[in-house]
Structure 1
Amino acid sequence: MGHHRKALRTTAVGAVSATLIAGSALGLAPTAQADGGGIRFVDITGDGGTVLKANVVTPQGDDGTRRYPLVVLPTSWGFPQAEYLVQARKLADTGYVVVSYNVRGFWQSGGQIEVAGPPDIADASKVIDWALAHTPADARHIGMAGVSYGAGISLLAAAHDNRVKAVASLSGWADLIGSIYSGRTQHVEAAAVLDGAATLTGRESPEVRQVFNDFYAGNLAKEQDLIAWGKKRSAATYLDRINRNGAAIMLANAWGDTVFPANSYTDFYEKLTGPKRLELRPGDHATPELPGLFGVPNDVWTDTERWFDHYLRGQDNGIDREQPVQLKSRSGGGYEGYPDWKSVAATSRKVDLAGTTTIHANVDSGADGGVVFLSSILDQVAQVPPMAWIPLLPRRWAAVWQSEKYATAQRIRGTGKLHTTVTGTKENGTFVAYLYDVGPLGVGKLVSNAPYTWYGRTPGKPFGVDLDLFSTAYDVPAGHRLALVVDTVDPLYLEHNPSGAQLTFSSPAEDPSYVSVPLREQ
């Protein structure tokens, strides 16, 4: 396990290096472009006296007599303070004061990385205080936005500071534990990417370092501590406060986000009671937003500006009258609008998982969720998701069920659900479920997946499992089948199968096994 984890971390650091090269470019090109355009680089005193490096962009030709809406942009994990300069300039040109700051613990800002802990939340309020005292910002019209880490901090700030009236949370999380520890399974490659970036560009607090170590070790004794640590850093924990404060919340994410799966946002979105919008489109973590950071016209940033224009500037641009849930299928086509998340799937179709199948653990069958970042980027730009040749998957290590061929296209929208009965030969275990679109030649394209881990079960005693697959939008062509594949090893996740473990999947007559596939009306 240690060697496996080390290999994952080496891979992750390589991926992070590429990300940081992009981040460095962002830190250089926009700065040169923006010189002389009302930009100041400043130091802001954050919580506990920690110095936060920041930049301020003000409207052109400001004569000091007007007040402007304020937008605060916390940086992404591992990115420098110049990350948002292109978007900040665009916002300022339309009448905003924009303050972007490097979150504590990264680059030249002081302090240590707290992973959106209480000091980070307090920092956001300190930045607002500073902006109101040192810029022509209007205290009545304050918004926050960010990508990834900045998205999570923005949502948390809206819960703790009622001055925040609008938020655009892009590729972030609402439930940190539900994102990186779903199904009680460590999403180890995603964690390694974050850890690697923090090591290269920042300074982890001792608490954060210990959390990462316990996470990699699969330390069950620390599980409740991990959950409590994550809840403190999750907007879902403070849902009542967010609803009470009434900020207008826009959430945007990618279907293939390997760091913060879309499910975290969809569940949270349904429980928001104020003005809200949910956008989901193809891609991986933060990849839909990245072109916009370079100034490339971009749907996410365009809608972010429209969101702020309406809720901070009072502009009647119609965004409040559009269907609030906007989805773009991974299979192509334009945006689809829905009144709410539950309306996305008009119906569902079950694929029966009949019979009894036993698989051996500890060997990767070849069915995998892909590589963090890379796989879903390929899906985004070329519609090439992770693939497996279903007929050749070794049945010793993979359980496979297939539907009949569909006469018409199946427009999958929403969250698939697996219901099955499992019997393990050991107390603990892990499996990963994959839903594939299988073409005439047997090549399966990954539609969705999710991991599941259990502890302390009586060996040989069956137990029921209900598992939500990661939400998606995917069109299965006519003449294709769906396949549900289960195996026990995937490089994306930490597995907990003791050596020699076997798992049996059954479908008792009184409680049949199935996967429920959510479908849009034809």
Structure 2
Amino acid sequence: MLLRATAASGIAATGVGMGTRPAAAIELECVRSGEFFTEEGAFTARDVTIESFDGTAIAGTVYEPDAAGPHPAVLTTHGWGMNRAFLRCTAAMYADNGYVVLAYDSRGYGDSGGEVQVNGPKEVSDAQALIDWLADHDAVIADGDDPRIGMDGGSYGGGIQLLTAARDDRVDAIVPRIAWNDLVASGAPNGAIKSGWLTMLVGLGTVSSRLTGDVGESIDSDLQGWYAEAMANNAMPEAVIDYFAERSPTRYLEDLEAPALVISGWTDTLFPPSEAVANYREIDDSGVESRLVMYGGGHNADELDVDDDQHEYVNRAALDWMDRHVRGAETDVVPEVSLWDEQSDTWRTFDAVDESVDRETVSLSALDGATSTVRHSSFRPDETATYELDADEVRIRGAPELSLTIEAHDAPLICFASLHHVEGRSDGEQIDDQVTGFRLEETGTHRLELDLEPLLRELPRGDALELRIEASDPFYLDEHGSATVQNDESTLTLPIAEGSL
């Protein structure tokens, strides 16, 4: 069986569309892209075209086990700007393990018709139409119009699972990978637009949607106008907030009934760890069985360096999850929370995110006096507020909290808080490449309560943890100006799992 299907279901894989092809041909392609199979299993892949609810043609590839059926099914689609060819290794993994898999081009991408609507109501209805098709497919186990089905996919293909399963209770289990919880919060945290990611995604989405160049017939034309407005004002337009809110699972998760295996990456800077933790917690709080797995990749170049151990753990978890909740087998599943520890090169498992965690609060005035200056200017040197805490064999696990009183002298001003691991005389490593942005819309004093990104980090004796607050970041459009942090009214609270400060 294939266990090293890309952890994000197609982030790093490449390929072209396929006609009817035996498992051996797909195996060769997966080996070339760094994937592997065992000798077990046999299946065949063939292309299909399925008419959606509104007559739009949705292109797919069906992977069917050669063994006699019927079989349980898996529905999967790709990441933003991609197509179903990127899913061949993940689809083959499931087919090799006895599942009928329907991998499809999302509306407006690849060979599918229609206009890209950013996983809006039309994309959800497309997924429901494909579930209908699988229910009528002889090779799939079904009770009338209710097939035995799970969903798996990454990024754009992760978001559609949460949205579809919340609307359609025929979905028996989901495995959303590197997906979002709140598209507004992940795209513009605390009002600070991720302009670098926004530019990349709008450009990629427009160009890759059938490569026609005819924006009006490929991707929602409103996105281009909203993008121009957002970049001009360095702020998210109200219409975009409404549009993205409608596409945010957090609005609908109370209706979700499908058990969810939430998978995400520590170094994901588009949909950061907080988005995965929010999905996991909201699903768990509603009484639906859920698990959280955090590995060492995500929307980041680090995805290309994710090792075999992580891939195998993640994909074995996905297969076991489907076997238990879709096939109905008595399988073991991963612990409640599985966290990849990069420093020790191993998995750590817990019964809860905050298991055996104490919270310790430090006043910023104890670290850098009464006030600190933050500045970004074309005419004067930039200034960063820096706070260094000496460590004593401490392990941090969870989301630090920054309670901040800051006076903006210029507005608007965008500031950024980040944590760094300082070893000896080094400048410090920005932990997991994560930063928390916040926009100060007006001059004057602001009181902010900020949740920084969750992390897992051990600080040996002699090392230090450094908090930095600055007014520029490479992935954001900077605003020029300065602000003063009132350190005596500001604190940093850390989730301490082992040791003390």
How would you bin the TM-score normalised by the shorter chain?
A: 0.7 to 0.9
**Equivalent of residue 199 in structure 2, options 192, 207, 218:** 192
C-alpha separation in 2, matches of 1:504 and 1:39: 61
Residue 364 of structure 1: how far off its partner (Å) = 12
Question: Mean alpha-carbon deviation: is it higher for 51-60 or for 427-436?
Answer: 427-436
Residue segments in structure 2 that go unaligned for 5+ positions in a row: 1-8, 29-41, 210-217
Residue segments in structure 1 that go unaligned for 5+ positions in a row: 1-18, 366-393
C-alpha separation in 2, matches of 1:209 and 1:61: 48
Partner of 2:215: none
Letter in 2 for 1:142: I
Q: Give the 5 Å matches for 1:74-473.
A: 74-139=77-142, 140-202=147-209, 203-218=218-233, 220=235, 223-242=237-256, 246-272=257-283, 273-285=287-299, 298-319=312-333, 322-343=334-355, 346-354=357-365, 355-362=370-377, 396-403=382-389, 405-406=390-391, 408-447=392-431, 448-455=434-441, 457=442, 459=443, 461-473=444-456
- Describe the SS at the equivalent of 2:136: helix
Displaced runs of 4+ in structure 1, greater than 4 A? 19-23, 26-31, 286-297
- Describe the SS at the equivalent of 1:87: helix
Partner of 1:60: 66
Count of matched residue positions in the alignment of Structure 1 and Structure 2: 454
C-alpha separation in 1, matches of 2:24 and 2:492: 51
Partner of 1:492: 475
- Describe the SS at the equivalent of 1:520: strand
Q: CA offsets per residue over residues 265-298 of structure 1, 9 Å max, x none?
A: 2122112121101001212327788799999953
Structure 1 pair 292/21, CA: closer, same or farther in 2 (3 Å)? closer
Q: CA offsets per residue over residues 20-54 of structure 1, 9 Å max, x none?
A: 99554365798932699321101111232111110
C-alpha separation in 2, matches of 1:169 and 1:364: 47
- Describe the SS at the equivalent of 2:397: strand
Structure 1 pair 205/223, CA: closer, same or farther in 2 (3 Å)? closer
Are the aligned partners of 1:292 and 1:301 in contact in 2 as well (CA < 8 Å)?
Answer: no
Residue 132 of structure 1: how far off its partner (Å) = 1.7
Are the aligned partners of 1:86 and 1:295 in contact in 2 as well (CA < 8 Å)?
Answer: no
Structure 1 pair 20/218, CA: closer, same or farther in 2 (3 Å)? farther
Are the aligned partners of 1:170 and 1:289 in contact in 2 as well (CA < 8 Å)?
Answer: no
Q: CA offsets per residue over residues 342-395 of structure 1, 9 Å max, x none?
A: 33x601233431121223224699xxxxxxxxxxxxxxxxxxxxxxxxxxxx6x
- Describe the SS at the equivalent of 1:260: coil
Aligned residues with identical type, % of pairs: 27
Q: CA RMSD in A?
A: 2.9
- Describe the SS at the equivalent of 1:49: coil
Letter in 1 for 2:448: V
C-alpha separation in 1, matches of 2:438 and 2:379: 16
Q: CA offsets per residue over residues 446-490 of structure 1, 9 Å max, x none?
A: 1242111122x3x3x322121111111122222111111111111
**Equivalent of residue 464 in structure 2, options 481, 501, 504:** 481
- Describe the SS at the equivalent of 2:252: helix
Letter in 1 for 2:477: L
C-alpha separation in 1, matches of 2:16 and 2:176: 20
C-alpha separation in 1, matches of 2:385 and 2:379: 12
Provide TM-score, normalisation by structure 1. Answer: 0.80
- Describe the SS at the equivalent of 1:48: coil
- Describe the SS at the equivalent of 2:114: coil
Provide TM-score, normalisation by structure 2. Answer: 0.84
Letter in 2 for 1:235: P
C-alpha separation in 1, matches of 2:379 and 2:349: 39
C-alpha separation in 2, matches of 1:165 and 1:49: 26
**Equivalent of residue 503 in structure 1, options 463, 483, 490:** 483
- Describe the SS at the equivalent of 1:67: coil
Letter in 1 for 2:102: V
Are the aligned partners of 2:338 and 2:347 in contact in 1 as well (CA < 8 Å)?
Answer: yes
Letter in 1 for 2:405: T
Partner of 1:43: 49
Q: CA offsets per residue over residues 403-442 of structure 1, 9 Å max, x none?
A: 2x32x32211111111121111134221001211112114
C-alpha separation in 2, matches of 1:295 and 1:134: 36
Are the aligned partners of 2:183 and 2:248 in contact in 1 as well (CA < 8 Å)?
Answer: yes
Structure 1 pair 326/287, CA: closer, same or farther in 2 (3 Å)? farther
Partner of 1:387: none
Partner of 1:7: none
Partner of 2:26: 33
Partner of 1:513: 490
Are the aligned partners of 1:358 and 1:504 in contact in 2 as well (CA < 8 Å)?
Answer: yes
C-alpha separation in 1, matches of 2:65 and 2:58: 23
